[in-house]
């Protein structure tokens, strides 16, 4: 797990600005947004907006729930964080560690998630493309299980 390099996220405002600049309002750096990003970064795992809100409160940062939602949405749209849907429908967010293609193994009980190497799907994928005529295939593979600690 790469925790040393902070340059990965310190420029999130910059990125947001870049993404939105095409046809949107300016992006400002605020205490709240920094806090959300930080807590998400520290968590490492996937966390729901509500969990993050609680995390912030625990840390002593007072941030409105709506702001948490708004920030997470912006960051997701900007491609700065990952968002997946839990089996129960909640949306879980996670600081995007790598740009590389990767998949997640999420614990059903504690929500902890780890990155797993992708299975070798390419051959299958090409086969599917050839048989169906579909082009530009992309995948989203979510794996769920029970982690040792929660068993």
Partner DNA sequence: ATCGTTGCAAAAGATTTGCAACTTC
Partner DNA sequence: GAAGTTGCAAATCTTTTGCAACGAT
Task: List residues near DNA by CB under 7 A.
Answer: 25-33, 48-50, 62-67, 69-71, 73, 89-91
User: Applying CB under 8 A, does 1 fall inside the site for its own copies?
Assistant: no
Binding window for its own copies (CB under 8 A); candidates: 11-19, 31-39, 43-51, 129-137: 129-137
Distance CA 40, CA 9 (A): 11
Residues within window 97-126 making contact with its own copies, judged by CB under 8 A: 105, 107, 114, 116, 119-121, 124-125
User: Applying CB under 8 A, does 132 fall inside the site for its own copies?
Assistant: yes
DSSP letters, 25-78, are ------HHHHHHHHHHHHH-S-EEHHHHHHHHHHHT----HHHHHHHHHHHHHT
Q: Which does 19 bind (CB under 5 to 8 A by kind): its own copies, DNA, none?
A: none
Backbone angles phi, psi at 94, to 5 degrees: -155, 140
Q: Which does 148 bind (CB under 5 to 8 A by kind): its own copies, DNA, none?
A: its own copies
* β-pair partners for 85: 91
User: Applying CB under 8 A, does 145 fall inside the site for its own copies?
Assistant: yes
Write down the least CB distance from residue 59 to its own copies, Å: 28
CA 43 to chain centre: 11
């Amino acid at each position: 797990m790469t925790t040393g390099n902070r340059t990965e996220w310190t420029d999130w405002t910059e990125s947001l600005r870049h993404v939105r600049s095409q046809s949107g309002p300016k992006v400002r750096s605020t205490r709240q947004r920094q806090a959300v990003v930080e807590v998400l970064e520290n968590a490492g795992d996937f966390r729901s907006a509500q969990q993050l809100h609680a995390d912030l409160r625990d840390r002593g940062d007072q941030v409105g729930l709506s702001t948490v939602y708004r920030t997470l949405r912006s960051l997701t749209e900007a491609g700065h964080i990952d968002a997946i849907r839990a089996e129960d429908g909640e949306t879980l967010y996670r600081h995007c560690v790598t740009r590389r293609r990767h998949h997640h193994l999420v614990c059903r009980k504690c929500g902890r998630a780890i990155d797993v190497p992708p299975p070798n799907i390419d051959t299958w994928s090409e086969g599917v493309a050839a048989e169906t005529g579909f082009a530009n295939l992309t995948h989203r593979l979510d794996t769920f299980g029970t982690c040792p600690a929660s068993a």
